[in-house]
Chains A and B, each alone.
Chain A
Amino acid sequence: MNDNLRIALAGNPNTGKSTLFNLLTGLKQHTGNWAGKTVDLMAGTFTFKGISYEMIDLPGTYSLFSNSKDEEVARDYIVFEKPDITLVVLDATALERNLNLALQVMEITEKVVICINLIDESEKMGISINEKILMKRLGVPVIKISARNKIGIPMLLDTIDRLIKGNIPCNPYKMTYDEETEMKIEQLIPFVQNITGEQLSARWLSLRLIDGDKSLLKEIEQRLAKKDAI
């Protein structure tokens, strides 16, 4: 086991995750302007203020609801490998669609930092983003950056450092569903907790059960079986 803190990079395809990854880790992972470039997990390391981090570049996805292999890879990493921080990289020029993924990640894990990339591009397009309001509404740190032009990177690293040391709170906004769904979640949570204990978010798992997410159930079954075998 290594004792590096793990940071997972999540985000829509083509939002600059790999550019940020290369910038921070100093690696030269291939970046390209097409979807599906990152199919496997890539890991690199960097050190900031005496703390070693391992950074994992997840495949770019629009969602974590397992429509495809890369979504499963990204979801499984966040759900089961539990990175210390999940850094969600958003495209400043298409925030609406990008925030969809951010909300999904925030349902799974508490320790989320949102990183709005391509901020120079969006400013050119006349889009201005008020990250303070976003931060307030989402309950997690929101940092504007440009990975390509190295804007906002010190701020991002500092935020990660402060979050790890517990100096900034992280209370991700939790989506409230309609009454019927919320009632069913309430009913399911005790059963889910009975099986998986505290290791996974019972609320999120209950939601996936209601949604009938079979691929997730299969994954959990396999992982629980492995644990029992040990």
Chain B
Amino acid sequence: MQLGRVIGNVVCTVKTASLAGQRLLIVQPLGREGRAMGRALVALDSVGAGMGDTVYWCRGREASFPFLPADVPCETTIVGLVDVVNIPGSTFAIP
């Protein structure tokens, strides 16, 4: 899993049937100091995340498991809303 921040969303009218009803959010991965790290990506949401939220997300086939028994084609899913990041010596702040 990795830390990230929700910075946007994507709207698709035409999409594969198994994505119907899913929210598509743009997540910017964050490093240990809370700064952007690497490319932004599109993730599904399994916990009700919103714009600006600090979250953690999961990558890989495992990312589709929150939606079982449905087979949802996604490899990045937000699986938690972060309340506190405790890294001694880090400046990580949750807005």
Same complex for A and B? Answer no
